[in-house]
Chains A and B, each alone.
Chain A
Amino acid sequence: MPRIRSKADLKALRKTIVGHRDLNKPYITLCSGTACHATGSDVVAAAIQEELEKQGLTEEVGVRRTGCHGFCERGPIIIIYPEEICYLNVTPEDVPEIIEKTIKEKQIIDRLLYLDSETGERKVHEQDIPFYKYQTRLVFSGNLWVDPTNIEDYIALGGYRALAKVLNEMTPEEVLEEVKRANLRGRGGGGFPAGWKWESTRDAAGEPKYVIVNCDEGDPGAYMDRSIMEGNPHRVIEGLAIVAYAIGSHHGFFYVRQEYPLAVNNLAIALEQAKEYGFLGADILGSGFEFDVIVHRGAGAFVSGESSALMNAIEGKVGEPRPKYIHTSESGVWDKPSNLNNVETYAIVPLIFEKGAEWFCSIGTEGSKGTKIFSLVGEVNNTGLVEVPMGTTLRDIIYKIGGGIRSGKRFKGVQTGGPSGGIIPEQYLDSPVDFDELTKLGSMMGSGGMIVMDENTCIVDLARYFVDFLCEESCGKCVPCREGLRRMREILEGIVAGKGKEGDIAMLEEIGAVMKKASLCALGTTAANPALSTIRYFRDEYEAHIKDKRCPALVCKALISYYIEPEKCTACLLCSKNCPEDAIDGGKKMIHVIDQSKCIKCGICYDVCPSKAGAVIKISGTPVPAPIPEAKRKIARGKGKGERRV
C-alpha cells in the first residue's frame, strides 16, 4: 500500500474500499474481545471457518472478528449482515445450523435471538434489545463493525478523516479552540478540561514535547479502555495524532497494561498499519507534520496509572508519583512538557472534529458534555459495557439497560469511581450521572466503573476490601496515605471480625480527613472515600457490626453461622457429602446437623443445598439453635411429595 499523501488520496482510497464491498454479500461478524475469548469466541470462529469450507462458501460469505459489543453477559455475539440478525450466546454446535438456515435459507433461528423476559418477545436486531436500545454508542460504534487488525475497515467508516481535516484545514490554535468549545473533559479520573490542559503543554517551554495515552486501567472492575484498545485502536491513534498536532508534539507513548495482551497485540498491528498508510511518521497526509509513537507496557501497579508515576515508569523507573508542585505539563517524561490523557478521551477527539463542537455540546449536561462508557457489573442482570449520554440517571442505567438486580434481589448501592470512589445508595438512584453530580454525592466519575450491589453485599466488608486494595497499592512514599490506610484497614478488619469498638467510626472519619488533606497524590487524597461514603450512607450497618456483632447482609465470616433448618431438610445428603471438614452429621433419612465446632464457614453446604429445600440458612447476631435431639432426626417418607416426621 502506498502512503496516503493528501486528504484527496484518503477520500479516493475510502471510495475504492467501499466500492469493492458488496453490501448485499452475507457477512458474519463475531465479537472477539477478552470477555468473549473467555466464553469461547475462538472455538466459534474456528467452527464458522470449518463449516464455510465444508459448504464451499468461503468466497460467498465474509467473516469478520470485531471488538467487544459490550453485552458480555451474553457473548459470544454474532451479527449476520445485511439483515443484521443478532444471535447471542453462540456455541460451536450452533454454527452448522446458522450457516444452513440463516445464511443459505435466510431463516431466523428463534432460539438464538434475545428473549425479552417481560414480554416474552424475541428481538432480531441488536438495537431492539433493551440493553442497547437505551444506549448512545458514539465512541463504541466502531467496535461493532471494525476488524481491529484491518485499517481499511476503519477507513471505510470514515476513519482518519478528522485527522486529514485538522492537518489540512486548521491551525493548532484552532484545534485547541474547538476542543475548548466542545468542553471536553478527561475521561480517566478527574474530568479535567482537555483543551486547557493541552494548551498549557503547548505553551510550556522545552522541546521535545510528549503526548501519552493512559491505558493502565487499574480500576478493578472496569474494562472499557481495554475494549476500545482491543476493538478499535485506530480511533485512539487518530485522536492522539490530532492532539499531538495541537500541542506541537512529535513523540507519543501508549502506556498499556501488560495484562492486556490482546490490546497490546492489536495496538501493535494498528500502529504498523497506520505507519504504512501514512497516518504516522514523516509528513503525515502531506501536511509536513511528523509524529511517531512507542508502546510501553505497564507492569501492574495501580498507582502507576497516576500521571507523574506513569511518566516515571515510561522512563524505566519505579512507577511512583512525583511531588505535586511539579506539573507534568511543564516537566513530565525526561523532564519535558508532557500531556497525558485517558484512552476514551483520545477516542472522543476524532468525533468532535468529524461532527463539530456544537454537535458534541448538544449531548450531555451543562457541565459534562458527550457520552461516557460505563462498565456495568456486579449483581445486575445485564453485565457489560454501556455508553450513555452524560446525565442519564443511575436508575435508567441499572434498570433499563442493566435489566435490574439479579435473582429479583433488592438494590443496595452502586459503587462508582473505582476503589477510591464511593457507594451511592438507593435514594439517589434518580440522580443524573455526570462529573459534578457524582462528586456531590461523595463519589466520583473515575474511569467509569459501576459496580452494582444487592442486599447480600456487606457494605462494611466492601469498604474493607477497597481500603485493603489501596493499602496494597499505596506506594508508601508519603506518611498520611501509607499509615492512614494501614490504620484504617486494621480498624475495618476488626469491625468485620466482630472486634469493633465504640469510637471506631469516629476514628475512621478522623483519619480520612487527614489523608484527604495531606497525601501526596490523588490515590491518598481519595483513598478514604469508600469508608467515608459508606459511613455517610450506611452508618447503621457499621453500628450493627460494632454494637450487635451482627452482619445484616450475612457476609462477614466471623459474625455468621450456618444452620440447617430441621423442618426443611430432606436428607438429600448433598451437603454432608460436599462438606470438606466432615462437619455435617448426615445419613439416609436423617435430618442433617452441622457441628458448629468443626465448621469453617466455607458456605459450600449453603451453595449445594437444593433451592427447593433451602434448608441451610445463615444466622447472625443471634445464637444458633441447639441441635435437635437424636431421637427426632429420623424422616419418614409419606405418600406424595411431602415428608412426614416421626
Chain B
Amino acid sequence: MAEINLKRVDEIIEGYKGEEGVLIQLLLDIQNEFNWISPEAIARISEQMRIPKSQIYRIASFYKAMSLKPVGRHIIHVCMGTACQVRGAPKILDRIEENLKIKEGETTSDMRFSLKRVNCLGCCAMGPVILVDGTYHGKITSAMVESILGQYE
C-alpha cells in the first residue's frame, strides 16, 4: 500500500532512539514495512532523531534498497546478475517493459506493477529469474512473460 501509517513509523523510530549510526537500519525497517519511504516519514525521522532532512535524502537516494517513490501492488524484480545476463535476462526485461509500457524503476499508472532490476537473487541455477512479490519464476523465456504477469491482478 502506498499509504504510510505514521504511528507505525513512530514505533520504528522509538526502537532506535538514543543510538548512534542507526539511520540506515531505521530507513531499511521503514522501507521493508511500507516498500517505500515517504516525505512524511522522512519529516518524522528528521524531527525525532534530530537528523537534517538533507542527510536522510542523501542516504535514501544512495542505496538501492530504498525507494523514495510509492510502489505498485506488485513488485517485479528482474535479476540482471551476470549468470542471468548470459542466459538472456535482457530479453526478459525488454519484454516486461514492452508489455507493461514502463521502464525499469517505474510503476504502472494503475499502480498494478512496479518494475525493478536486481543483481543476483542467489538462485543462478534457475536463471533467468524474476521475483514477483516473493515468488520466484525461474528458467523463463520472453514468451512466458505475459502469462506470468497475468497471474497478478
Contacts and interface: CB of A to CB of B under 8 A. Distances in A.
Interface of A: 33-35, 37-39, 72-73, 75, 218-223, 226, 258-260, 296-297, 299-302, 304, 313-320, 375, 377-379, 383-384, 415, 419, 449, 451-453, 457, 462, 465-466, 469, 475, 578, 580, 600, 602-604, 607-608
Nearest to B61: A318
A252 to B, nearest CB: 15
B124 to A, nearest CB: 4
24 contacts: A35-B124, A35-B125, A38-B138, A39-B136, A72-B126, A219-B120, A220-B80, A259-B118, A299-B28, A300-B63, A304-B63, A315-B20, A316-B21, A316-B24, A375-B83, A377-B127, A378-B124, A449-B82, A462-B86, A466-B82, A602-B91, A603-B142, A607-B141, A608-B143
B44 interface: no
With a 10 A CB-CB cut-off, give which of A33, A259, A314, A320 has the most chain B CB atoms.
Answer: A259
Nearest to A71: B125
Interface in B47-83: 58-59, 62-66, 80-83
A306 B53 CA distance: 27
Contacts of A316: 20-25, 59
A489 to B, nearest CB: 15
Contacts of B80: 220
B10 to A, nearest CB: 20
Given A39-B138, A72-B124, 5 more contacts: A34-B122, A299-B63, A415-B82, A469-B119, A604-B143
A605 to B, nearest CB: 9
Nearest to B94: A602
B129 interface: yes
Contacts of B24: 296-297, 299, 313, 316
B95 interface: yes
A300 B83 contact: no
Contacts of A37: 136
Nearest to A451: B82
Contact of A451 (B22, B83, B136): B83
A397 to B, nearest CB: 15
B148 interface: no
B124 A602 contact: no
A300 B86 contact: no
B85 interface: yes
A226 B119 CA distance: 14
A60 to B, nearest CB: 34
B1 to A, nearest CB: 20
B110 interface: no
B129 A297 contact: no
Interface in B108-136: 118-127, 129, 136
B27 interface: yes
Contacts of A449: 82
Nearest to B129: A38
Contacts of B146: 580
B63 to A, nearest CB: 4
A464 to B, nearest CB: 10
Contacts of B27: 299
Contacts of A384: 125
Contacts of B127: 377
With a 10 A CB-CB cut-off, give which of B32, B64, B66, B84 has the most chain A CB atoms.
Answer: B64
**Top 5 A-B pairs ranked by shortest CB distance?**
A316-B21, A221-B82, A299-B63, A220-B119, A300-B64
B82 A315 contact: no
Contacts of B153: none
B123 A602 contact: no
A379 B125 contact: no
Contacts of A34: 121-123
Contacts of B82: 220-221, 377-378, 415, 419, 449, 451, 465-466
Contacts of A260: 122
